[in-house]
Amino acid sequence: MKRAITAAEVPTALSRGATARVEANIPARFKPGDRVRPRNIHPTGHTRLPRYARGRLGVIARNHGVFIFPDTHAATWNQKPQHVYAVRFSAQELWGPAASPRDFIHVDLWDDYLDPA
């Protein structure tokens, strides 16, 4: 089992510029233009899926490649590598009809968060 770094080790770790990108031949589930809906999940532990995006309709804007899945990694150190996508949401989809129809937000989301829409 790996140990957590100490406060004194943080500056050195940050200066190395580590990445969570993984070189793995994992097929992408989605491509730009695909409509997706983030799952409406409520995990007890760590997640990078914002509540405001859960269950909302979005469109894949970009595939960033394969990265460590932080939810699993935070709890078990298992990397569970998967694709990360920039998902484009309209402001009205996220915040209702009072939001500007011209505004959009992109949220980076892992495969495990997404279902086809």
**Angle, CA 105 vertex, CA 116 and CA 45 arms, to 5°:** 65
Please tell me whether residue 71 adopts helix, strand or coil conformation: helix
CA 105, 17, 77, 31: dihedral to nearest 10 degrees?
40
Please report the domains of the chain, with CATH numbers, ordered by start residue. Answer: 19-116 (2.30.30.50)
Q: What are the pLDDT digits (tens) for 64-117?
A: 999 999 888 777 777 899 999 999 999 999 999 999 999 999 999 999 999 999
